Amino acid sequence: MTQKPQPVRLVAPVGALLAGALVSMAFAPLKWWPLAPLGIALFTVVLRWGVQEARSPLGRGARWGYLMGLSLFTLFVGWISVLGWYVGAALCLFMAVWGLLIGWGTSAVRNLPAWPVLTAAMWSLAEFASSRVPFGGFGWMRLGFTTADSPLGGLLPWIGVGGVSFLVALSGTLLAWGVERVLVRAAHASSVVTWRRALLPVGLVAAIFAVGPIAGLAPARPATGAQVHVGMVQGNVDGTAGSEAMGYARSVTNNHLSETIMLMAKARVGATPMPDFVLWPENSTDIDPTRDVETAALINEAVKFAEKPIFVGSVMAGPGKGERQTTGLWVHPEQGIQGRYDKRNLVPFGEFIPLRDTLLPLLPILEQVGNQAVPGNQPGVLDVPLGVGTDATRLRIGDVICFELAWDSTVYDTATNGAQLLVVQSNNATYTATGQPRQQFEMTRVRAMELRREIVVSTTSSFSGYIDARGRVIDKTRESTSASATYTVPLRAGATPAVIVGPAWELVAAVVAALGLVAGVVLAVRGRAVSDAG
Protein backbone atom coordinates (compact mmCIF):
# COMPACT_ATOMS: atom_id res chain seq x y z
CA MET A 1 0.00 0.00 0.00
CA THR A 2 1.42 3.35 -1.02
CA GLN A 3 1.87 5.63 1.98
CA LYS A 4 0.62 9.18 1.93
CA PRO A 5 3.46 11.69 1.74
CA GLN A 6 4.36 13.16 5.11
CA PRO A 7 3.09 16.68 4.19
CA VAL A 8 -0.43 15.26 3.74
CA ARG A 9 -0.34 13.77 7.23
CA LEU A 10 0.51 17.19 8.60
CA VAL A 11 -1.66 19.40 6.41
CA ALA A 12 -4.87 17.39 6.82
CA PRO A 13 -5.04 17.60 10.65
CA VAL A 14 -4.23 21.31 10.49
CA GLY A 15 -6.99 21.71 7.91
CA ALA A 16 -9.42 19.91 10.22
CA LEU A 17 -8.54 22.22 13.10
CA LEU A 18 -8.94 25.27 10.84
CA ALA A 19 -12.29 24.00 9.57
CA GLY A 20 -13.64 23.70 13.12
CA ALA A 21 -12.45 27.22 13.88
CA LEU A 22 -14.18 28.59 10.78
CA VAL A 23 -17.49 26.96 11.68
CA SER A 24 -17.27 28.30 15.24
CA MET A 25 -16.85 31.86 13.95
CA ALA A 26 -20.20 31.62 12.16
CA PHE A 27 -21.90 31.68 15.57
CA ALA A 28 -22.21 34.66 17.89
CA PRO A 29 -20.43 36.72 19.00
CA LEU A 30 -18.69 37.06 15.60
CA LYS A 31 -21.73 35.96 13.52
CA TRP A 32 -19.72 35.53 10.31
CA TRP A 33 -22.36 33.17 8.89
CA PRO A 34 -20.66 32.47 5.49
CA LEU A 35 -17.87 30.70 7.38
CA ALA A 36 -20.16 27.81 8.37
CA PRO A 37 -20.54 26.36 4.84
CA LEU A 38 -16.95 27.31 4.01
CA GLY A 39 -15.65 25.52 7.11
CA ILE A 40 -17.72 22.45 6.30
CA ALA A 41 -16.44 22.54 2.72
CA LEU A 42 -12.84 22.73 3.93
CA PHE A 43 -13.28 19.84 6.34
CA THR A 44 -14.99 17.70 3.70
CA VAL A 45 -12.27 18.33 1.10
CA VAL A 46 -9.44 17.76 3.58
CA LEU A 47 -10.93 14.56 4.93
CA ARG A 48 -11.85 13.02 1.58
CA TRP A 49 -8.43 13.88 0.18
CA GLY A 50 -6.55 12.73 3.24
CA VAL A 51 -8.10 9.28 3.66
CA GLN A 52 -7.99 8.15 0.04
CA GLU A 53 -5.02 5.84 0.43
CA ALA A 54 -5.18 5.21 4.16
CA ARG A 55 -5.28 1.58 5.24
CA SER A 56 -7.92 2.50 7.84
CA PRO A 57 -9.79 5.44 6.28
CA LEU A 58 -12.63 5.32 8.82
CA GLY A 59 -10.22 5.47 11.72
CA ARG A 60 -8.31 8.35 10.19
CA GLY A 61 -11.57 10.17 9.42
CA ALA A 62 -12.69 9.71 13.02
CA ARG A 63 -9.40 11.13 14.35
CA TRP A 64 -9.52 14.16 12.11
CA GLY A 65 -13.19 14.63 12.90
CA TYR A 66 -12.33 14.68 16.57
CA LEU A 67 -9.73 17.38 15.91
CA MET A 68 -12.31 19.40 13.99
CA GLY A 69 -14.83 18.99 16.82
CA LEU A 70 -12.25 19.89 19.44
CA SER A 71 -11.43 23.13 17.64
CA LEU A 72 -15.10 23.94 17.03
CA PHE A 73 -16.35 23.35 20.55
CA THR A 74 -13.35 24.81 22.36
CA LEU A 75 -13.85 28.11 20.57
CA PHE A 76 -17.64 27.93 20.65
CA VAL A 77 -18.45 26.88 24.23
CA GLY A 78 -15.15 27.62 25.93
CA TRP A 79 -17.09 30.12 28.06
CA ILE A 80 -18.15 27.22 30.28
CA SER A 81 -14.65 27.41 31.79
CA VAL A 82 -15.84 30.26 34.04
CA LEU A 83 -17.17 27.43 36.21
CA GLY A 84 -13.65 25.97 36.37
CA TRP A 85 -11.07 25.09 33.74
CA TYR A 86 -11.74 21.40 34.32
CA VAL A 87 -15.45 21.90 33.53
CA GLY A 88 -14.57 23.56 30.24
CA ALA A 89 -12.02 20.89 29.39
CA ALA A 90 -14.42 18.06 30.16
CA LEU A 91 -17.27 19.52 28.12
CA CYS A 92 -15.13 20.33 25.08
CA LEU A 93 -13.38 16.95 25.13
CA PHE A 94 -16.75 15.23 25.25
CA MET A 95 -18.54 17.42 22.69
CA ALA A 96 -15.71 16.80 20.22
CA VAL A 97 -17.01 13.23 20.03
CA TRP A 98 -19.78 14.55 17.78
CA GLY A 99 -17.05 15.85 15.46
CA LEU A 100 -15.60 12.34 15.54
CA LEU A 101 -18.98 11.01 14.41
CA ILE A 102 -19.07 13.50 11.54
CA GLY A 103 -15.53 12.63 10.47
CA TRP A 104 -16.15 8.91 10.71
CA GLY A 105 -19.39 9.21 8.77
CA THR A 106 -17.87 11.47 6.11
CA SER A 107 -15.12 8.95 5.44
CA ALA A 108 -17.59 6.05 5.47
CA VAL A 109 -19.88 7.47 2.77
CA ARG A 110 -17.14 8.94 0.59
CA ASN A 111 -17.58 6.30 -2.14
CA LEU A 112 -21.37 6.07 -2.03
CA PRO A 113 -23.68 7.72 -4.59
CA ALA A 114 -24.95 11.16 -3.57
CA TRP A 115 -22.15 11.47 -1.02
CA PRO A 116 -22.61 15.29 -0.66
CA VAL A 117 -26.17 14.68 0.59
CA LEU A 118 -25.08 11.84 2.87
CA THR A 119 -22.19 13.88 4.25
CA ALA A 120 -24.51 16.81 5.02
CA ALA A 121 -26.83 14.36 6.73
CA MET A 122 -23.94 13.38 9.06
CA TRP A 123 -24.04 16.89 10.49
CA SER A 124 -27.79 16.50 11.06
CA LEU A 125 -27.19 13.15 12.74
CA ALA A 126 -24.65 14.76 15.08
CA GLU A 127 -27.11 17.55 15.94
CA PHE A 128 -29.92 15.06 16.48
CA ALA A 129 -27.82 12.91 18.81
CA SER A 130 -26.11 15.74 20.71
CA SER A 131 -29.51 17.29 21.49
CA ARG A 132 -30.62 14.12 23.25
CA VAL A 133 -27.70 12.25 24.82
CA PRO A 134 -26.31 12.08 27.36
CA PHE A 135 -28.44 13.43 30.21
CA GLY A 136 -30.93 15.13 27.92
CA GLY A 137 -28.27 16.46 25.56
CA PHE A 138 -26.56 19.77 24.87
CA GLY A 139 -28.10 21.15 21.69
CA TRP A 140 -26.45 24.56 21.81
CA MET A 141 -24.38 24.02 18.64
CA ARG A 142 -26.77 23.76 15.71
CA LEU A 143 -25.89 25.19 12.33
CA GLY A 144 -29.36 26.72 11.99
CA PHE A 145 -28.53 29.09 14.84
CA THR A 146 -26.00 30.85 12.56
CA THR A 147 -28.66 31.96 10.08
CA ALA A 148 -30.43 34.91 11.69
CA ASP A 149 -28.69 37.26 9.20
CA SER A 150 -28.17 34.70 6.42
CA PRO A 151 -30.36 34.37 3.32
CA LEU A 152 -31.15 30.86 4.59
CA GLY A 153 -32.90 32.45 7.58
CA GLY A 154 -35.91 33.04 5.35
CA LEU A 155 -36.52 29.28 5.34
CA LEU A 156 -36.77 29.03 9.14
CA PRO A 157 -40.59 29.36 9.35
CA TRP A 158 -40.93 26.66 6.68
CA ILE A 159 -38.43 23.95 7.62
CA GLY A 160 -37.28 24.99 11.11
CA VAL A 161 -33.83 24.95 12.65
CA GLY A 162 -33.41 21.25 11.82
CA GLY A 163 -34.07 21.76 8.13
CA VAL A 164 -31.97 24.90 7.83
CA SER A 165 -29.08 23.22 9.65
CA PHE A 166 -29.10 20.52 6.96
CA LEU A 167 -29.07 23.12 4.18
CA VAL A 168 -26.09 24.92 5.74
CA ALA A 169 -24.22 21.62 5.81
CA LEU A 170 -25.37 20.71 2.30
CA SER A 171 -24.12 24.04 0.99
CA GLY A 172 -20.70 23.19 2.39
CA THR A 173 -20.59 19.65 1.01
CA LEU A 174 -21.74 20.84 -2.43
CA LEU A 175 -18.89 23.35 -2.45
CA ALA A 176 -16.55 20.52 -1.54
CA TRP A 177 -17.95 18.51 -4.45
CA GLY A 178 -17.22 21.43 -6.76
CA VAL A 179 -13.65 21.72 -5.51
CA GLU A 180 -13.15 17.97 -5.92
CA ARG A 181 -14.51 18.00 -9.47
CA VAL A 182 -12.03 20.73 -10.32
CA LEU A 183 -9.05 19.05 -8.68
CA VAL A 184 -9.72 15.63 -10.18
CA ARG A 185 -9.77 16.99 -13.71
CA ALA A 186 -7.19 19.75 -13.28
CA ALA A 187 -4.34 17.65 -14.64
CA HIS A 188 -6.30 16.39 -17.65
CA ALA A 189 -8.18 19.38 -19.04
CA SER A 190 -7.77 23.01 -19.89
CA SER A 191 -8.50 25.56 -17.20
CA VAL A 192 -11.76 26.59 -18.86
CA VAL A 193 -13.08 23.06 -19.04
CA THR A 194 -11.84 22.32 -15.55
CA TRP A 195 -13.62 25.24 -13.91
CA ARG A 196 -16.82 24.41 -15.71
CA ARG A 197 -16.86 21.26 -13.62
CA ALA A 198 -17.65 23.43 -10.59
CA LEU A 199 -20.64 25.15 -12.15
CA LEU A 200 -23.24 22.53 -11.19
CA PRO A 201 -22.33 22.34 -7.46
CA VAL A 202 -21.93 26.11 -7.17
CA GLY A 203 -25.19 26.61 -9.04
CA LEU A 204 -26.98 24.32 -6.60
CA VAL A 205 -25.59 26.31 -3.65
CA ALA A 206 -26.68 29.57 -5.30
CA ALA A 207 -30.17 28.15 -5.81
CA ILE A 208 -30.42 27.13 -2.14
CA PHE A 209 -29.45 30.62 -1.01
CA ALA A 210 -31.74 32.27 -3.56
CA VAL A 211 -34.80 30.45 -2.23
CA GLY A 212 -34.23 31.76 1.31
CA PRO A 213 -35.11 35.44 0.77
CA ILE A 214 -38.21 34.47 -1.24
CA ALA A 215 -39.37 32.11 1.51
CA GLY A 216 -38.63 34.85 4.02
CA LEU A 217 -41.47 36.93 2.62
CA ALA A 218 -43.87 34.72 4.58
CA PRO A 219 -45.99 36.91 6.88
CA ALA A 220 -46.05 36.81 10.64
CA ARG A 221 -48.62 34.59 12.35
CA PRO A 222 -52.14 36.06 12.19
CA ALA A 223 -52.73 38.84 14.69
CA THR A 224 -55.79 38.64 16.91
CA GLY A 225 -56.29 42.39 16.70
CA ALA A 226 -55.30 42.89 20.34
CA GLN A 227 -51.98 43.96 21.76
CA VAL A 228 -50.29 43.91 25.15
CA HIS A 229 -47.87 46.35 26.75
CA VAL A 230 -45.08 44.26 28.30
CA GLY A 231 -42.89 45.86 30.96
CA MET A 232 -39.42 44.31 30.82
CA VAL A 233 -37.14 44.50 33.86
CA GLN A 234 -33.42 43.73 33.94
CA GLY A 235 -32.45 44.26 37.55
CA ASN A 236 -28.73 43.51 37.16
CA VAL A 237 -26.61 41.61 39.68
CA ASP A 238 -23.36 42.28 41.47
CA GLY A 239 -20.20 40.48 40.44
CA THR A 240 -18.54 39.31 37.26
CA ALA A 241 -18.53 36.04 35.38
CA GLY A 242 -18.29 33.00 37.55
CA SER A 243 -20.26 30.67 39.74
CA GLU A 244 -20.74 33.36 42.40
CA ALA A 245 -22.13 35.96 40.00
CA MET A 246 -25.66 35.90 41.43
CA GLY A 247 -24.39 37.18 44.77
CA TYR A 248 -26.86 37.32 47.63
CA ALA A 249 -30.26 36.05 46.58
CA ARG A 250 -32.30 38.81 48.26
CA SER A 251 -30.10 41.53 46.77
CA VAL A 252 -31.03 40.24 43.30
CA THR A 253 -34.72 40.42 44.15
CA ASN A 254 -34.23 43.88 45.62
CA ASN A 255 -32.60 45.01 42.37
CA HIS A 256 -35.61 43.87 40.39
CA LEU A 257 -37.97 45.57 42.82
CA SER A 258 -36.00 48.82 42.41
CA GLU A 259 -36.04 48.64 38.62
CA THR A 260 -39.77 47.85 38.66
CA ILE A 261 -40.33 51.05 40.64
CA MET A 262 -38.30 52.90 38.00
CA LEU A 263 -40.33 51.30 35.18
CA MET A 264 -43.65 52.29 36.75
CA ALA A 265 -42.42 55.79 37.54
CA LYS A 266 -41.63 56.31 33.85
CA ALA A 267 -45.05 54.97 32.89
CA ARG A 268 -46.94 57.13 35.40
CA VAL A 269 -45.37 60.34 34.16
CA GLY A 270 -46.16 59.36 30.56
CA ALA A 271 -42.56 58.75 29.45
CA THR A 272 -43.43 55.19 28.40
CA PRO A 273 -46.68 53.27 27.87
CA MET A 274 -48.32 51.83 30.96
CA PRO A 275 -47.47 48.09 31.05
CA ASP A 276 -50.22 45.50 31.28
CA PHE A 277 -47.82 43.20 33.16
CA VAL A 278 -44.17 43.19 34.18
CA LEU A 279 -41.69 40.50 33.13
CA TRP A 280 -38.91 39.55 35.54
CA PRO A 281 -36.10 37.16 34.49
CA GLU A 282 -35.19 33.65 35.53
CA ASN A 283 -33.74 33.58 39.06
CA SER A 284 -35.02 37.04 39.92
CA THR A 285 -35.52 35.28 43.23
CA ASP A 286 -33.54 32.18 44.20
CA ILE A 287 -35.67 31.69 47.33
CA ASP A 288 -39.12 30.10 47.24
CA PRO A 289 -41.57 32.97 47.97
CA THR A 290 -44.19 30.49 49.17
CA ARG A 291 -41.86 29.38 51.96
CA ASP A 292 -39.84 32.51 52.76
CA VAL A 293 -41.69 35.44 54.30
CA GLU A 294 -39.11 38.08 53.41
CA THR A 295 -38.93 37.07 49.76
CA ALA A 296 -42.72 36.99 49.54
CA ALA A 297 -42.83 40.50 51.03
CA LEU A 298 -40.43 41.84 48.39
CA ILE A 299 -42.49 40.38 45.54
CA ASN A 300 -45.76 41.56 47.05
CA GLU A 301 -44.32 45.05 47.43
CA ALA A 302 -43.38 45.07 43.75
CA VAL A 303 -46.80 43.80 42.66
CA LYS A 304 -48.68 46.29 44.84
CA PHE A 305 -46.56 49.20 43.64
CA ALA A 306 -47.00 48.20 40.00
CA GLU A 307 -50.69 47.42 40.42
CA LYS A 308 -50.06 44.97 37.59
CA PRO A 309 -49.27 41.25 37.43
CA ILE A 310 -45.57 40.35 37.54
CA PHE A 311 -44.19 37.22 35.89
CA VAL A 312 -41.50 36.28 38.41
CA GLY A 313 -38.60 33.91 37.70
CA SER A 314 -38.26 31.92 40.90
CA VAL A 315 -36.56 28.85 42.34
CA MET A 316 -39.17 26.77 44.13
CA ALA A 317 -38.53 24.15 46.81
CA GLY A 318 -39.61 20.57 46.14
CA PRO A 319 -41.44 18.59 44.99
CA GLY A 320 -39.36 16.20 47.10
CA LYS A 321 -36.84 16.62 49.88
CA GLY A 322 -33.59 18.10 48.62
CA GLU A 323 -35.19 19.02 45.28
CA ARG A 324 -36.01 22.29 43.55
CA GLN A 325 -37.57 23.62 40.37
CA THR A 326 -36.78 26.63 38.20
CA THR A 327 -40.13 28.30 37.70
CA GLY A 328 -42.04 31.17 36.18
CA LEU A 329 -44.73 32.42 38.62
CA TRP A 330 -47.60 34.66 37.53
CA VAL A 331 -48.30 36.86 40.56
CA HIS A 332 -51.49 38.93 40.36
CA PRO A 333 -51.96 42.02 42.57
CA GLU A 334 -55.42 40.92 43.71
CA GLN A 335 -55.41 37.15 43.29
CA GLY A 336 -51.85 36.17 44.19
CA ILE A 337 -50.11 33.34 42.32
CA GLN A 338 -52.32 32.44 39.36
CA GLY A 339 -49.99 30.49 37.10
CA ARG A 340 -46.82 28.43 37.25
CA TYR A 341 -44.48 27.00 34.61
CA ASP A 342 -41.62 24.70 35.63
CA LYS A 343 -38.55 24.60 33.41
CA ARG A 344 -38.41 21.35 31.45
CA ASN A 345 -34.87 21.30 29.98
CA LEU A 346 -32.29 21.49 32.74
CA VAL A 347 -28.53 22.07 32.59
CA PRO A 348 -26.62 18.91 33.60
CA PHE A 349 -24.04 19.66 36.32
CA GLY A 350 -25.46 23.19 36.49
CA GLU A 351 -29.00 22.56 37.74
CA PHE A 352 -28.84 18.85 38.45
CA ILE A 353 -26.20 16.15 38.93
CA PRO A 354 -26.61 13.08 36.71
CA LEU A 355 -25.84 9.85 38.56
CA ARG A 356 -25.83 11.94 41.72
CA ASP A 357 -25.40 9.14 44.27
CA THR A 358 -22.36 7.83 42.38
CA LEU A 359 -20.65 11.07 41.39
CA LEU A 360 -21.16 13.23 44.46
CA PRO A 361 -18.90 11.14 46.76
CA LEU A 362 -16.21 11.12 44.04
CA LEU A 363 -16.46 14.83 43.17
CA PRO A 364 -17.37 16.84 46.29
CA ILE A 365 -17.15 20.09 44.27
CA LEU A 366 -20.52 19.13 42.79
CA GLU A 367 -22.05 20.16 46.13
CA GLN A 368 -22.04 23.68 44.64
CA VAL A 369 -24.90 22.63 42.36
CA GLY A 370 -27.15 22.64 45.42
CA ASN A 371 -30.47 20.85 45.62
CA GLN A 372 -31.29 18.56 42.72
CA ALA A 373 -33.40 20.36 40.11
CA VAL A 374 -36.43 18.46 38.86
CA PRO A 375 -37.81 19.14 35.36
CA GLY A 376 -41.39 20.17 34.76
CA ASN A 377 -43.66 18.10 32.57
CA GLN A 378 -46.16 20.60 31.15
CA PRO A 379 -45.88 22.92 28.11
CA GLY A 380 -44.90 26.48 28.91
CA VAL A 381 -48.27 28.07 28.18
CA LEU A 382 -50.23 29.73 30.99
CA ASP A 383 -53.79 31.03 30.85
CA VAL A 384 -53.59 33.92 33.31
CA PRO A 385 -55.56 37.00 34.43
CA LEU A 386 -54.13 40.15 32.94
CA GLY A 387 -56.06 43.12 34.29
CA VAL A 388 -57.53 43.95 37.70
CA GLY A 389 -61.05 44.69 38.90
CA THR A 390 -63.61 45.28 36.15
CA ASP A 391 -60.80 45.47 33.56
CA ALA A 392 -59.74 41.86 34.13
CA THR A 393 -59.03 39.89 30.93
CA ARG A 394 -57.22 36.64 30.15
CA LEU A 395 -53.90 36.10 28.39
CA ARG A 396 -52.30 32.91 27.08
CA ILE A 397 -48.60 33.52 27.56
CA GLY A 398 -45.87 31.21 26.28
CA ASP A 399 -42.74 31.01 28.42
CA VAL A 400 -39.30 29.66 27.50
CA ILE A 401 -36.68 29.66 30.24
CA CYS A 402 -33.05 30.20 29.21
CA PHE A 403 -31.42 26.86 28.24
CA GLU A 404 -34.76 25.67 26.81
CA LEU A 405 -34.22 27.79 23.69
CA ALA A 406 -32.04 25.01 22.30
CA TRP A 407 -34.90 22.46 22.30
CA ASP A 408 -37.31 22.50 19.37
CA SER A 409 -40.11 20.62 21.09
CA THR A 410 -40.14 22.93 24.13
CA VAL A 411 -40.18 26.07 22.00
CA TYR A 412 -42.72 24.70 19.53
CA ASP A 413 -45.06 23.68 22.35
CA THR A 414 -45.74 27.34 23.07
CA ALA A 415 -47.21 27.89 19.60
CA THR A 416 -49.06 24.58 19.31
CA ASN A 417 -50.68 25.05 22.73
CA GLY A 418 -52.20 28.39 21.85
CA ALA A 419 -49.81 31.00 23.23
CA GLN A 420 -50.73 34.52 22.14
CA LEU A 421 -47.47 36.05 23.33
CA LEU A 422 -43.95 34.65 23.74
CA VAL A 423 -41.44 35.62 26.42
CA VAL A 424 -38.01 34.37 27.42
CA GLN A 425 -36.83 34.49 31.03
CA SER A 426 -33.11 34.02 31.43
CA ASN A 427 -30.20 34.32 33.83
CA ASN A 428 -26.81 34.75 32.14
CA ALA A 429 -25.05 36.45 35.04
CA THR A 430 -22.58 33.59 35.49
CA TYR A 431 -21.33 34.13 31.93
CA THR A 432 -21.00 37.90 31.94
CA ALA A 433 -18.50 39.19 29.33
CA THR A 434 -18.32 35.80 27.58
CA GLY A 435 -19.88 34.68 24.30
CA GLN A 436 -22.74 32.80 25.96
CA PRO A 437 -25.25 35.68 26.38
CA ARG A 438 -24.69 36.77 22.79
CA GLN A 439 -25.15 33.23 21.51
CA GLN A 440 -28.40 32.91 23.40
CA PHE A 441 -29.72 36.21 22.08
CA GLU A 442 -29.02 35.05 18.52
CA MET A 443 -30.84 31.79 19.24
CA THR A 444 -33.83 33.86 20.38
CA ARG A 445 -33.76 35.80 17.12
CA VAL A 446 -33.79 32.52 15.19
CA ARG A 447 -36.76 31.28 17.24
CA ALA A 448 -38.69 34.49 16.52
CA MET A 449 -38.06 34.04 12.79
CA GLU A 450 -38.96 30.36 12.97
CA LEU A 451 -42.29 30.90 14.76
CA ARG A 452 -42.97 34.27 13.12
CA ARG A 453 -43.74 35.66 16.57
CA GLU A 454 -42.43 38.64 18.50
CA ILE A 455 -40.41 37.70 21.61
CA VAL A 456 -39.75 39.78 24.72
CA VAL A 457 -36.60 38.81 26.63
CA SER A 458 -35.87 39.56 30.28
CA THR A 459 -32.49 38.58 31.76
CA THR A 460 -30.86 39.30 35.08
CA SER A 461 -28.01 41.28 33.54
CA SER A 462 -27.26 40.49 29.89
CA PHE A 463 -29.09 41.53 26.73
CA SER A 464 -32.77 41.79 27.47
CA GLY A 465 -34.95 43.30 24.78
CA TYR A 466 -37.58 42.98 22.09
CA ILE A 467 -37.28 41.00 18.84
CA ASP A 468 -39.88 41.25 16.09
CA ALA A 469 -41.42 38.42 14.08
CA ARG A 470 -38.68 38.62 11.44
CA GLY A 471 -35.85 38.42 13.93
CA ARG A 472 -35.06 42.12 13.85
CA VAL A 473 -33.80 43.57 17.11
CA ILE A 474 -36.14 46.40 18.10
CA ASP A 475 -34.49 46.99 21.46
CA LYS A 476 -31.54 45.42 23.27
CA THR A 477 -30.10 46.37 26.65
CA ARG A 478 -26.42 46.61 27.48
CA GLU A 479 -24.62 44.00 29.52
CA SER A 480 -24.07 44.40 33.26
CA THR A 481 -26.58 47.21 33.66
CA SER A 482 -30.00 47.68 35.16
CA ALA A 483 -32.66 48.55 32.61
CA SER A 484 -36.38 48.58 31.99
CA ALA A 485 -38.68 49.31 29.07
CA THR A 486 -42.24 48.81 27.92
CA TYR A 487 -42.92 47.14 24.57
CA THR A 488 -46.20 47.09 22.68
CA VAL A 489 -46.59 43.55 21.37
CA PRO A 490 -49.35 42.24 19.09
CA LEU A 491 -51.06 39.03 20.16
CA ARG A 492 -50.91 36.26 17.56
CA ALA A 493 -52.35 32.82 16.90
CA GLY A 494 -51.28 29.69 15.07
CA ALA A 495 -48.04 27.91 14.29
CA THR A 496 -45.72 27.92 11.28
CA PRO A 497 -44.96 24.82 9.15
CA ALA A 498 -41.59 24.69 10.93
CA VAL A 499 -43.06 23.05 14.03
CA ILE A 500 -43.99 19.99 11.94
CA VAL A 501 -41.43 20.02 9.14
CA GLY A 502 -38.33 20.89 11.18
CA PRO A 503 -38.28 17.88 13.53
CA ALA A 504 -39.37 15.54 10.72
CA TRP A 505 -36.64 16.85 8.42
CA GLU A 506 -33.96 16.41 11.07
CA LEU A 507 -35.19 12.90 11.90
CA VAL A 508 -35.23 11.82 8.26
CA ALA A 509 -31.75 13.28 7.70
CA ALA A 510 -30.47 11.47 10.80
CA VAL A 511 -31.96 8.15 9.63
CA VAL A 512 -30.53 8.60 6.13
CA ALA A 513 -27.13 9.35 7.66
CA ALA A 514 -27.31 6.28 9.87
CA LEU A 515 -28.21 4.06 6.91
CA GLY A 516 -25.44 5.60 4.84
CA LEU A 517 -23.01 5.05 7.69
CA VAL A 518 -23.93 1.38 7.90
CA ALA A 519 -23.61 0.95 4.14
CA GLY A 520 -20.28 2.74 4.11
CA VAL A 521 -18.88 0.66 6.95
CA VAL A 522 -19.97 -2.57 5.26
CA LEU A 523 -18.38 -1.42 2.01
CA ALA A 524 -15.15 -0.52 3.81
CA VAL A 525 -15.00 -3.88 5.61
CA ARG A 526 -15.53 -5.78 2.37
CA GLY A 527 -12.90 -3.67 0.63
CA ARG A 528 -10.44 -4.29 3.43
CA ALA A 529 -11.11 -8.04 3.26
CA VAL A 530 -10.54 -8.10 -0.52
CA SER A 531 -7.33 -6.10 -0.11
CA ASP A 532 -6.01 -8.42 2.58
CA ALA A 533 -6.92 -11.48 0.52
CA GLY A 534 -5.12 -10.09 -2.49
Annotated domain spans of the chain:
6-218+500-533, 226-494
Strand order in the sheet with 465-467: 381-385, 394-401, 421-426, 455-459, 465-467, 473-476
Q: Which of 127, 17, 82 is nearest to 435 (CA)?
A: 82
Strand (E) or helix (H) holding 268: helix 249-268
What are the tens digits of pLDDT across the range 417-444?
999 999 999 998 889 999 999 999 999 9
Q: What is the pTM of this model?
A: 0.93
Q: What is the pLDDT of residue 363?
A: 72
Specify whether the CB–CB gap between 452 and 469 falls below 8 A. yes
Give DSSP secondary structure letters for 381-418.
Answer: EEEEE-S-GGG--EEEEEEEEGGGGG-HHHHHHHHHTT
Distance CA 213, CA 255 (A): 43
Distance CA 253, CA 312 (A): 10
Distance CA 154, CA 415 (A): 19
Burial class (CB in 10 A: 0-12, 13-18, 19+), 5: exposed
Scored b (16 or more CB within 10 A) or e, 376-414 reads: beebbbbebbbbeeeeeeebbbbbbbbbbbbbbebbbbb
What are the tens digits of pLDDT across the range 276-329?
999 999 999 999 999 999 999 999 999 999 999 999 999 999 999 999 999 999
Q: What is the pLDDT of residue 246?
A: 46
Give just the sign of the alpha carbon dihedral 70, 72, 74, 79. negative
Q: What is the pLDDT of residue 368?
A: 76
State which residues of the chain have pLDDT below 70. Answer: 1-8, 185-194, 238-248, 390, 528-534
Which CATH topology does 226-494 take? Nitrilase/N-carbamoyl-D-aminoacid amidohydrolase (3.60.110)
Distance CA 376, CA 344 (A): 5
End-to-end, the C-alpha distance of the chain in Å comes to 12
Distance CA 48, CA 180 (A): 9
Amino acid, single-letter form, for residue 324: R
